């Protein structure tokens, strides 16, 4: 893959498809969007984005739509597979081949893993993976990385703790891949045994960066620059007692943050349930709401890049 490969027309399926150069390129595109977002822009006027959400995710859909509208583009799509053609038994490949006639870019969320990869192979229109099974969620990873870049000025050398459900949480897989493209990044993977990160992911990222696995957030709180919290879903546990026993140890409160490193930040892909106490919101560490704003900027940048409005 050439270093200067343009992103115009490309699919955004998996972070594994990109080089550090590509990701840096996406981050600087996001930087360019701050002004456009505030003053309004029409660089995507006449372009249509279709959101095909076979699985509901209001926030991700809103974020993409906001990004598209802020650049002057238009949006069509569905978020309720029950009302869509899916209900009539049409497969994804056919749906994509129909909708590609209606739009310039397709944003797909699907419960099955690899769905976006397949969609990208049956159409020439660029496809953006907005989450497929528990596999990957690349645009979330890009916004997460962008948040770190904005908050620290760099990604190289950061020590990042990922906490909670590292097995089924699709955002953490993509984020781990993205971080592994940078230099001297150290990952602390904190989870209950049942929810440890998949070996495929560890194997891939282990080739490039250091990681350690653990169960105790308290132990590493004083060392990390980023505390990336995720939600642990009750449904993952066969035994509810087991869930009750561990859930408290993956919850962050203002009191815990007394022990954290100066300048550390707390992130979360949202929605949260109770893994970050509301008393953290007002602290200097909380970044999860600003992260949402960075999400709009980074999706604006991505759409502008793949639709060829910027280079």
Partner 1 sequence: MSQVGKAELYVKKIRNGTVIDHISAGYALDVLKILNVTGKETNTVGVVINVPSKHIGKKDIVKIEGGELKPEDVDKIALISPKATINIIHEYDVVEKKKVSLPRDITGIIKCGNPVCISNSKEPVSSLFHVQEVEPIRLRCHYCNRTMEKKDILKQF
Query: Considering the complex, what minimum distance in angstroms separates the CB of residue 204 from partner 1?
Result: 9
Query: Considering the complex, what minimum distance in angstroms separates the CB of residue 233 from partner 1?
Result: 16
Query: Considering the complex, what minimum distance in angstroms separates the CB of residue 217 from partner 1?
Result: 28
Query: Considering the complex, what minimum distance in angstroms separates the CB of residue 154 from partner 1?
Result: 29
Query: Considering the complex, what minimum distance in angstroms separates the CB of residue 230 from partner 1?
Result: 19
Select 93 or 249, whichever has its Cβ closest to partner 1.
93
Q: What is the CA radius of gyration of the chain?
A: 19
Q: Which of 25, 47, 61, 109 is catalytic?
A: 109
| Catalytic residue status for 10 | no
Select 8 or 202, whichever has its Cβ closest to partner 1.
202
Instruction: Count CB neighbours of 65 within 10 A.
Output: 20
Q: Which of 38, 88, 258, 262 is catalytic?
A: 88
Q: What is the dihedral of CA 290, 227, 182, 15, to 10 degrees?
A: -70
**Best CA proximity match to 295, nearest among 22, 34, 11:** 34
Select 114 or 308, whichever has its Cβ closest to partner 1.
114
| Catalytic residue status for 311 | no
Quickly tell me which residue has 């739509």 as its tokens: 65
Q: Which of 51, 60, 171, 230 is catalytic?
A: 60
Select 201 or 217, whichever has its Cβ closest to partner 1.
201
Select 41 or 132, whichever has its Cβ closest to partner 1.
132
Query: Considering the complex, what minimum distance in angstroms separates the CB of residue 35 from partner 1?
Result: 37
| Catalytic residue status for 247 | no
Q: Which residues lie near partner 1 (CB under 8 A)?
A: 14, 16, 91-93, 110-115, 117-118, 132-136, 199-200
Q: Two tokens at 71?
A: 């650049």
Q: What is the dihedral of CA 154, 156, 158, 159, to 10 degrees?
A: 160
DSSP assignment, residue 160?
E
Cα–Cα separations (whole angstroms), residue 99 to 52, 77, 119, 124, 199: 9, 9, 11, 12, 36
Count of alpha carbons within 13 Å of 134, Cβ hemisphere only?
A: 11
Select 14 or 147, whichever has its Cβ closest to partner 1.
14
Q: Which of 70, 137, 186, 231 is catalytic?
A: 137
| Catalytic residue status for 170 | no
| Catalytic residue status for 186 | no
For 33-62, letters b (16+ CB in 10 Å) and e give beebbeeebebbeebebbbbbbbebeebbe
**Best CA proximity match to 79, nearest among 92, 99, 62, 98:** 62
CB–CB of 161/190 below 8 Å? yes
Q: Which of 45, 59, 219, 259 is catalytic?
A: 59
Q: Which residues are catalytic?
A: 59-60, 88, 109, 137
């Amino acid at each position: 893959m050439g270093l200067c490969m343009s992103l115009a027309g490309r699919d955004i399926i998996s972070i594994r498809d990109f080089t550090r150069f590509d990701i840096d390129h996406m981050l600087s595109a996001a930087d360019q969007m701050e002004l456009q977002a505030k003053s309004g822009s029409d660089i995507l006027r006449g372009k249509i984005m279709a959101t095909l959400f076979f699985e509901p995710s209001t926030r991700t859909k809103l974020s993409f739509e906001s990004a598209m509208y802020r650049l002057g583009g238009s949006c069509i799509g569905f978020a309720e597979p029950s009302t869509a053609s899916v209900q009539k038994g049409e497969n994804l490949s056919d749906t994509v081949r129909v909708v590609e006639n209606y739009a310039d870019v397709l944003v797909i969320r699907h419960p099955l893993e690899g769905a976006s990869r397949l969609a990208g192979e049956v159409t020439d229109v660029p496809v953006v993976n907005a989450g497929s099974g528990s596999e990957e969620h690349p645009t979330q990873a890009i916004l997460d990385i962008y948040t770190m870049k904005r908050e620290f000025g760099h990604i190289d050398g950061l020590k990042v703790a990922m906490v909670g459900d590292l097995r089924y949480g699709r955002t953490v897989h993509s984020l781990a891949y993205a971080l592994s493209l940078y230099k001297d990044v150290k990952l602390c993977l904190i989870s209950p045994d049942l929810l440890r990160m998949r070996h495929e992911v560890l194997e891939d990222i282990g080739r490039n960066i250091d990681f350690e696995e653990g169960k105790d957030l308290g132990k590493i709180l004083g060392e990390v620059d980023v505390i990336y919290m995720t939600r642990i879903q009750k449904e993952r546990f066969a035994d509810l007692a087991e869930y009750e026993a561990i859930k408290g140890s993956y919850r962050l409160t203002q009191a815990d943050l007394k022990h954290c490193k100066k300048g550390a930040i707390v992130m979360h892909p949202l929605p949260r349930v109770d893994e970050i106490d509301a008393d953290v919101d007002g602290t200097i560490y909380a970044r999860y709401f600003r992260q949402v704003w960075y999400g709009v900027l980074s999706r604006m940048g991505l759409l502008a890049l793949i639709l060829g409005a910027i280079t």
